A and B are shown apart, each in its own frame.
Chain A
Amino acid sequence: MTYIGVAYRPELDGLFRGRDPAVDCTELIADRYFGTTGFSRAWELRRLQDIPVIIHGLCGNAASVHGPDPGYLAQIRRLADATGAIAYSDHLAFTCAQGRPLGHLAPNLFDDELLAAAKANIAAITGLTGRRPCLENLAVRTLISGSRYTPEEFILRLLEASDQWDCLLDLTNIWINSRNRAVDPVAFVDALPADRIGYVHLAGGILVHGEWVDSHSRAVHGEVFELLDHLLSRSSPLAVIIERDGNWPGAEAELREDLSRVRTIVAARSLAGTPP
């Protein structure tokens, strides 16, 4: 079965509450809940305790020669254990250099050194969190000069190099990349091993000065739904999660429509089921 949900934001609380929540599951930004004796924003965790959750980290530093911070991964494990998370994800990004966080999901110099480092990082993440991570592809406009691989080639190489991870496949990022760079979205989706698609992100972006930006502030694009339909013709991800981070007026209604559209696509591909 495939869970269908929305990434949790307090502004969208109505989607998660009541007798008939609009979602089967949700995704929590892990870093907001970290603590030492308890948990920050514990009331949200209590409120969501009946909904299966996915823990989504921001600072795993998987695509960096510096690698993940063990203390950060210990926090991930603590949160995932406490919430009984059904999955854990982070980004295939450079987020921290020599103990100094960047505060952002940065692309990196995609070369063989980074490939080897990312493989080792994934092993460390798996060992320290006790979970098989799903790693998300970024929307990347600027490629770092000197890179041997495009971001898409790097992902495919890393899937071959390490079997300890799955893709958190952000279909909107793939579509946005295809608008900003020479990327064939369907060819890239087809090149990914069907059994390595952990779960899926969808969102709506905006066009700024002629370039698409993954702003998470609009309804999901029609082309992204088509890409989802294509993906589901060959893969059965654990979940499809819609992300929304802004433009709140009318967002809940827009998300209900998007959720309905996802349910229709998933049902048509015979993946729907009742959550256990």
Chain B
Amino acid sequence: MGAVLTSHAARELVLRSAAEFTAHFDLSAQEAAALAAMAGDLAALTPGFVRKRERGLRAAMPVTWSVLASEAGKLAGDYLESRAPAASAALDALGFADYLVAAVSLLPDERQDKGVIVDVVRLERLRLLVSGTEWPLRPEPDEVPLDPRRIDPRRPLRLCPGAAVERFTFDVRTVRAGSPAEMRARLRPDQANLLCFQRPADGEVVVRRIDDESARTVKLIGLRTGAVTAAGLGEPGRSRLGKLVALGVIKGAGA
């Protein structure tokens, strides 16, 4: 019954061939008879359930949905049929984002805006991942505020939870839902490190372009959080630290 409620394909199967459905789900004769009796009711319920789930996916990835245009509905349909709902809407959206990252890489290479679309999907997935960051209800006792202008070189550093940096072929921060295709086509390749993190005070997901040295610094502190000091970063990384601290993405850890 659960499968029928969440899948158009399962609904069609139970209506068209209850015997096939029974064999596929290894149902007992009693279960099959009960399902056959309620098939019409389940057929009435299913479309609403699937539509509601699709609305959730569309809302979670509005920019991707917009740039994919008519293909978005088809890809979403494929995802909805192939994947059972997740434990929460947020997890379902993340599953859809992973699915799209793989699916859009298979778009025809001759498609002019393929590279932009791939990066749009990756950035929206990154935003979703970061938006699920867990925070303590109260500041953690070992979190030390830092003055970006005077960073103690011996203070261990930590990366803000959930912060992540990825390298993109295009700087797709400017692509919005509803951006015309011609505008996207005008985007030129522009290798960009995009840093994504969530402000713990208000939940706002922030995306900033950072240079290669800052990206290396963020990754190093993230990998060895609490074990790296400003002194241990070396000069190039240290020079970028103030800006990252001012952004709130690097904090001090207890000694």
Contacts and interface: CB of A to CB of B under 8 A. Distances in A.
A42 B136 contact: yes
B37 A146 contact: yes
A42 B87 contact: no
Interface residues of A, number: 36
B200 A42 contact: yes
Contacts, number: 98
B132 interface: yes
Nearest to B53: A103
B92 interface: yes
Contacts of B90: 32, 40
B4 to A, nearest CB: 10
Given A97-B1, A109-B34, A103 B89 contact: yes
Nearest to A213: B48
A141 B86 CA distance: 25
A181 interface: no
A6 B168 CA distance: 42
B2 interface: yes
B22 interface: no
Contact of B34 (A37, A44, A146): A146
A127 to B, nearest CB: 21
Given A36-B134, A103-B53, A109-B38, A43 B203 contact: yes
B49 A102 contact: yes
A35 B161 CA distance: 13
B137 interface: yes
Contacts of B87: 31, 59, 72, 101
A144 B2 contact: no
A50 B49 CA distance: 36
A19 to B, nearest CB: 19
Contacts of B135: 38-40, 42-43
Nearest to B88: A31
Given A40-B90, A42-B136, A101-B87, A145 B203 contact: no
Given A35-B134, A40-B134, A109-B34, A102 B5 contact: yes
A274 interface: no
A106 interface: yes
Contacts of B1: 94, 97
B202 A144 contact: no
11 contacts: A39-B134, A40-B90, A44-B203, A46-B137, A72-B87, A94-B2, A104-B52, A104-B53, A109-B34, A142-B41, A146-B38
